Amino acid sequence: MAGFPENFLWGGAFAANQVEGGAREGGKGLSTADIFPLSERGKGGCFDRTLDQILEAARDEDDSKYPKRRGIDFYHRYREDIALFHEMGFKALRFSISWARIFPNGDDKEPNPEGLAFYHSMVDELKKYGIEPIVTLSHFEMPLHLALEYNGWTDRRLIELFERFASVLFEEFHQDIRYWITFNEVDATVHIPLTGAGIIKEHTKDMEQAKYQALHHQFVASAVVTKLAHEKYPDLKIGCMTTKNLKYPATCKPEDCLQWLQETELDAFYTDVQVFGEYSYAIRNLWEKKGIRIAMEEGDGKLLKENTVDFVSFSYYASLVTSAEGAAKEKASANLLVGEKNPYLKQTPWGWQIDPVGLRFALNQMYSRYHLPLFVAENGLGTFDVMEDGRVHDDYRIDYVREHIRQMKLALEDGVPVFGYTYWGCIDCISASTSEMSKRYGFIYVDQDDQGRGTLRRIRKDSFDWYRDVIMSNGQKL
């Protein structure tokens, strides 16, 4: 089969906490994303905060110090931005709904009508242009109150609160939104527990146990809302989403290949739970070794088993290398993950190893394990852009996307059913890990710097026209 299917969902992706701004507008409560400051360049990400830093930020009225409180002002500019997505010919837009905009504290009895009204306006704008909304329920944020008062997902009561959140959204939007993803990169709970699950280390006795306990509650919550959707709104498609942690063995040395196999098997457990409805031998073995006991209630196993997802999605940015004596090797990073450098690959300025062939590898690997339709929920190049004579000549971004699309096409020809590709950061937005603007992904430049200075003007980059032609030709014109 040559080429992309007729109804392939070409588009873009972003998250509420990285674009909206309006942190205190329309009745929204502070979210866990609103407490992160700009990280110091080169000092790694800003995901880890102490309780004192969180409380200080929560009391801080000076929003200018917290880039995710301003985003790129999408909250007020969404009509202009969606019109630009339409100009590129988007078939789909993956975005998230901010829990704190709908339930400001997370445990409010009734939803916030202004929050619902904002998303109705946004979805109406998308439908006007025939752009399919793909909504992530939880994308690296939750009401700050739930982190501070419940210690996030470590508290089993969040299952019921999340069900309340999802059931309001399904009832409000089931006729307009068909595709739903429960948790963005659900593995984040293990890698970055404050961002992934609202876990505060000073409120946590045993963080290793707490992270997996929180993750279990998220899996149960995902199954609960999947059950609700399947029973009450049978047209909805529910998907899971992880960071694709693609690795290669450093050599053909058996010990390196065994290390690769064990790490790959272990990393698959996140998607295994949401596709097969049970915990794999690899994760059970890890818990055994670490003495981790997960508290599960009667019925959790049945719930997980009987309410699995309809499609599998993942983010793919880079690949890593692993080896038996990995610890000694020079480190490289790929999104939330750290591994070893690959001498055959170039890196972005933030050290992410660029590997388009890896996307074909990942798609084949995921399909051979899950046999479900696949969706590339994130792929993109975050790098410095320079404005020259009023334009950004981002050939490097065009090359990056062209090569990844080429490999996606080859995966389709391998027989892998990929049904969509939403380029991450289709418009410049606040970086999740560093809260920078400088790490630009967009086909659209936003005139705002790391400190929030600028006109917020939107400017088409060279990649804007290129991606429009890709979509118009259904992936033929690269």
| Residues lying near ligand BGP in the complex (CB under 6 A) | 15, 18, 140, 184-185, 243, 315, 335-336, 378, 382, 424, 431-433, 439
Q: How far is the CB of 97 from ligand BGP (least distance, A)?
A: 14
Q: How far is the CB of 74 from ligand BGP (least distance, A)?
A: 14
Q: How far is the CB of 186 from ligand BGP (least distance, A)?
A: 11
Comparing CB distances to ligand BGP, the nearer of 4 and 85 is: 85
Report the C-alpha gap between 473 and 76 in whole angstroms.
Answer: 32
Q: Which residue has the tokens 């969902």?
A: 9
Residue 3 is classified by DSSP as S
CA 409, 411, 417, 419 torsion-angle sign: negative
Q: How far is the CB of 436 from ligand BGP (least distance, A)?
A: 8
Report the C-alpha gap between 99 and 111 in whole angstroms.
Answer: 10
Structure tokens at 134: 């793909």
Q: How far is the CB of 72 from ligand BGP (least distance, A)?
A: 13
Residues serving a catalytic function are: 185, 378
Q: Which residues are paired to 333 by β-bridges?
A: 338, 352
Are the CB atoms for 127 and 83 separated by under 8 Å?
no
Amino acid at the residue 199 = I
Comparing CB distances to ligand BGP, the nearer of 279 and 424 is: 424
Report the C-alpha gap between 449 and 417 in whole angstroms.
Answer: 40
Report the C-alpha gap between 461 and 35 in whole angstroms.
Answer: 31
Are the CB atoms for 321 and 332 separated by under 8 Å?
yes
Structure tokens at 278: 């049970």
Comparing CB distances to ligand BGP, the nearer of 11 and 382 is: 382
Buried b or exposed e, range 332-359, using 16+ CB within 10 angstroms: bbbbbbebbbbeebeebebebbbbbebb
Comparing CB distances to ligand BGP, the nearer of 340 and 378 is: 378
Comparing CB distances to ligand BGP, the nearer of 190 and 324 is: 190
